[in-house]
C-alpha cells in the first residue's frame, strides 16, 4: 500500500511541477514567441491561395509585358549587355547583365513583381529562373525587345 501512495504522490508532483512551470512568465513568453514564429513562417511561405493571385506566370507575351509595364508597379529588368542597351531600350528599365545578376541580385526589389527582358527572350528566361530560385515574383517576356520595338512600344 505504501508503494501505491508514493506513485500517486510522484504523479501529483509531476503535474504540479508542469503547472508551476507554465505559470512562469519566461515560459509563457517563450510559448507565445513560438506560436508567433509558426504564424510568421506560414505567412511568408505563401500560406494559401492569396499568393497564387499575385504570382506572375512564368512567361508573358510582349503585349502582356507592355500591359504590366504601363501599370507601373512592375520592376523591368533588362539582362542584356550594356552595348545592346546603348542601341535601344525600353524607358525606365534597369540594366543588370545576365552574367552579373547573381552577384547583384540585391539591387532587384523583393517587394515588386519583376518583368525580365532581353533581346529575343532567351536570356530573360535564365534571368527569371535565377530570380525565382531566390524567391522573387518574376516573369520573362517572350520575343524580347526585338518584338517590343516591332510592336511600336516605347524605345529610347
What integer pLDDT is reported at residue 36 of this predicted model?
80
| Sequence-separated (6 or more) residues with CB below 8 Å from residue 155 | 88, 89, 90, 91, 145, 148, 149
Distances (CA, A) of 66 to 27, 112, 119: 55, 16, 15
pTM assigned to the model = 0.65
48-57, 63-72, 81-90, 115-124: range with lowest mean pLDDT: 48-57
Give the span between the Cα atoms of 124 and 80, in whole angstroms: 9
User: What tens digit of pLDDT does each residue of 104-114 get?
Assistant: 999 999 999 99
Higher pLDDT, 14 or 77: 77
User: What tens digit of pLDDT does each residue of 22-80 get?
Assistant: 788 887 888 888 888 887 777 676 544 334 345 888 999 999 999 999 988 899 999 99
Domains of the chain, CATH where assigned = 2-50 (no CATH), 55-150 (3.40.250.10)
What integer pLDDT is reported at residue 51 of this predicted model?
40
Question: Can you give the three-state secondary structure of the chain, one letter per residue?
Answer: CHHHHHHHHHHHHHHHHHHHHHCCHHHHHHHHHHHHHHHHHHHHCCCCHHHHHHCCCCEECHHHHHHHHHHCCEEEEECCCHHHHHHCCCCCCEECCHHHCCCCHHHCCCCCEEEEECCCCHHHHHHHHHHHHCCCEEEEECCHHHHHHHCCCCCC
What rounded mean pLDDT belongs to the chain? 84
Q: Which three cell numbers stand for residue 60?
A: 508573358
Amino acid at each position: 500500500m505504501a508503494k501505491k501512495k508514493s506513485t500517486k504522490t510522484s504523479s501529483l508532483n509531476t503535474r504540479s511541477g508542469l503547472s508551476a512551470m507554465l505559470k512562469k512568465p519566461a515560459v509563457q513568453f517563450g510559448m507565445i514567441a513560438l506560436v508567433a514564429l509558426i504564424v510568421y513562417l506560414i505567412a511568408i511561405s505563401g500560406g494559401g491561395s492569396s499568393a497564387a493571385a499575385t504570382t506572375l506566370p512564368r512567361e508573358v507575351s510582349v503585349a502582356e509585358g507592355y500591359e504590366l509595364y504601363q501599370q507601373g508597379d512592375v520592376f523591368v529588368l533588362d539582362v542584356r549587355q550594356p552595348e545592346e542597351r546603348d542601341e535601344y531600350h525600353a524607358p525606365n528599365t534597369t540594366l543588370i547583365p545576365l552574367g552579373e545578376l547573381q552577384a547583384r541580385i540585391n539591387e532587384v526589389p523583393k517587394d515588386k513583381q519583376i518583368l525580365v527582358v532581353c533581346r529575343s527572350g532567351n536570356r530573360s528566361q535564365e534571368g527569371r529562373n535565377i530570380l525565382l530560385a531566390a524567391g522573387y515574383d518574376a516573369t520573362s517576356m517572350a520575343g524580347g525587345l526585338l518584338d517590343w520595338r516591332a510592336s511600336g512600344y516605347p524605345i529610347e
